[in-house]
Structure formats: structure tokens, C-alpha cells
Amino acid sequence: MRTIKRNALRVAAATVATGLLATGAVALAGAASASTLSPAQSTSYAFETLNNNHDLTFNQLLGINDEGLIAGYFGSGAAGHPNKGYLLLPNHIAYLNENFPGSVQTQVTGLNNRGVTVGFWSSMNNANQMNDNHGFVDVNGQFRTADFPTGSPAAPPVDQLLGVNDNDVAVGFYTDANGNNHGYEYNIATHRYSTVTESGVSSLTAAAINDRGDVAGFYTAGDGNTDAFIKFGNQTFINLSVPGASSTMALGVSNSDEVVGTYTVGSGNSAVMHGFTWQPGRGFSTVDDPHGIGTTTINGVNDHGQLVGFYVDAAGNTDGFLATPQR
């Protein structure tokens, strides 16, 4: 893994979920336990709330590698409250700035075991939150913008990298002038782009990729709902829709093809969000942080089964969490 400099000063806009940072203390809401219950599986997790002290009102944890290094950001993105990216070191010993040079906002959305991080940055922090988004990669402290080459971008442009594997292949999406999302892969070594598509599928977002090249994400289904998917080796496409959910979004995938994300039941003021895990042959399990039942999103998973994400607490704050399976 690359050496991470503690004095690095480097920031983003709003991932699929919605982000300056300096080293700060970790706020822990006492480790709690909860069980996920489904006909297919039951796993218990120990939950920790992890928030950077520079903003205890808004944190999202978006990725975790096998060494326990966590990617995320603080700041809601509202005017005067910009997203600021960070890395949280293993064992939660320190937060490190991870912000695109010269940016106004940054979110760090994914990382691998080789020290490569990806995300997106913005030059804006507008009151209406209609900001430009540009994907980025950071290899050994060297940042570069990585936007899919398109002749019909949205205005302002929206391009986000959301995940990266150990082969240094990143995935993300861009939004076109008609408001549709298009998933893609980006090879960091060769600088080459390729699309992630499926026949009959519209507005697809590629959110995560594992070392085998299996891609997870979500798209707009024919009935107007949002459905999750996993595409094995960019070939076999499997729909992942939680029964009865109005929206299912896959946001992370491990090398064993454990898919994680969030699903929504109901709509409007009655809508509730739950985290989920899905495994081949075992199906879905609901995983909610005990402090945020009905407001939980799981955004990342590593090969040890650790989960990261965020929830909304009783005070209306968005809190990051780490969930560790209890063997």
C-alpha cells in the first residue's frame, strides 16, 4: 500500500447517496450488535458509529479495503457546507485529508488494497446543489481527472467514479444531456474506457467492481422502479430486486460476490430505507444499524465481510458506521 502522508491537503459533491477535512477524533456511539434475519441467512454484526469531529452532523463512509482503511467524506454539500473527502486509518487512529487539488468539494468513494483511491470532485458549492462533478483517481498521491469522453454531457457535467479493484480498474457513470446515466469501466494503467451496458436496460450506474471483473450497480427498470444488478465478468447480467421494494441499489461487491446496498419500501413520507447484503445461492438479508433502523445505507464491503455505510439518527444527523461480522 502506498504511504499516506498525514499532512496531505487534498476534496467532492454527492454520490449515489448524496461532502475539507483535517485529522480529527473519532466519535464512537458504543459498539452495538444486531442480527440480520432472512430465510436464507442470519449474521450478527458489531456496529460502530464513526464521525469526524470536524463535522459531527454529516458523515458518509463509502468504501473499506481488506486492511480496514475506510474512504468517506463529511459535509452535506449545502451552500457553505461543502463535501470534504477523507481516509480513516485502520483501527480508527486518524483521519487524513483526501481532496482533489484545487477543488471546492470532494468525495472519496472507493479504494483498493494497492492504495489507489477514486471518487469525484466539484469546482462548485451552489445553493441549489446543481454542481459539476468530475471523476478522479489518486495513485500514490498523484491525482488525475477521469471523465468518460462523451459528446452529450449533462449541464453542468456529472461524472463520478465509485469503485476500484486490485487490478486498478475503476467503475462509475456519467449523465447525458437527457438525464440518463451510463455506466463505464476505466483502466487506470492504460487510460482506456469501456461501457457497462445491458440490452433493454436504461439509465445504468456501475457502482462497484471486484477483482474478477464482476460489476454491481443499479438501473431504471421498465416499471419505473430502481433495480440493483450484478454482471459477472461484464457478461451474465442478474437482476437483484428486493421483493416489495420500490428501489434497490447495489453499491458494493466483494471478491466472493457478496453484494451490499440499500433498498426502499414505500414512497414519499412513508418511505423507509434498509441496508442489505446478497450472496449467490443465499439471497438477501436486511442489515440495519441499530441506531438508524429505516434510514440505513450500506455502501462498501471488504473480503472479511466488514460493511461501511451511513444512517440518519434521531437528531437528523447523518452518521457513518462500520459493521463487523461476529464469527
Domain boundaries, the chain: 26-325
pLDDT at 48: 98
Reduce the DSSP state of residue 41 to 3 states and report it. coil
How far apart CA 206 and CA 9 sit, in angstroms, is: 29
Give tens-digit pLDDT for 240-279.
999 999 999 999 999 999 999 999 999 898 999 999 999 9
Return the CATH number of 26-325, one of 3.40.50.1820, 3.20.20.70, 2.120.10.30, 2.40.420.20: 2.120.10.30
How far apart CA 147 and CA 123 sit, in angstroms, is: 14
122 contact partners, CB below 8 Å, separation of at least 6: 12, 13, 83, 103, 104, 105, 106, 131, 132, 133, 134
CB 36 within 8 A of CB 287: yes
Give the number of C-alpha atoms closer than 13 A to the C-alpha of residue 20, restricted to the C-beta side. Answer: 9
pTM of the model: 0.89
pLDDT at 3: 37
β-bridge mates for residue 135, sequence order: 120
pLDDT at 327: 76
For residue 43, give the C-alpha cell.
Answer: 449474521
**C-alpha dihedral sign at 314, 318, 319, 324:** positive
Q: Which residues of the chain register pLDDT less than 50?
A: 1-37, 39-41
Task: Please provide residue 187's backbone torsions phi and psi, each rounded to the nearest 5 degrees.
Answer: -85, 110
pLDDT at 208: 98
